[in-house]
Amino acid sequence: MLFDCPDCGLPATVTTRGRLPSTSGPVEHVEVHCVADHRFLGPADTLRVVLAPDTV
């Protein structure tokens, strides 16, 4: 799955995916790494999906 990099908007791939606890229950988090070497760890629902697996 490709996301937009939160720093530069270039394509970023998921390197790690998991669920972390929160007061509202578990939240899916992803770590992404973009082509410009930026890294980001945060909630999956805050990232814009560029290309989902079913469109490949």
pLDDT at 35: 93
pLDDT at 53: 66
pLDDT at 47: 86
Which amino acid is located at 1 in the chain?
Answer: M
Query: Along the chain (56 residues), what's the average pLDDT of each consecutive run of 10 residues?
Result: 88 93 94 94 86 61
pLDDT at 54: 63
The answer to whether the pTM exceeds 0.85 is no
Distances (CA, A) of 34 to 14, 16, 24, 25, 29: 9, 13, 30, 29, 16
Which amino acid is located at 20 in the chain?
Answer: L
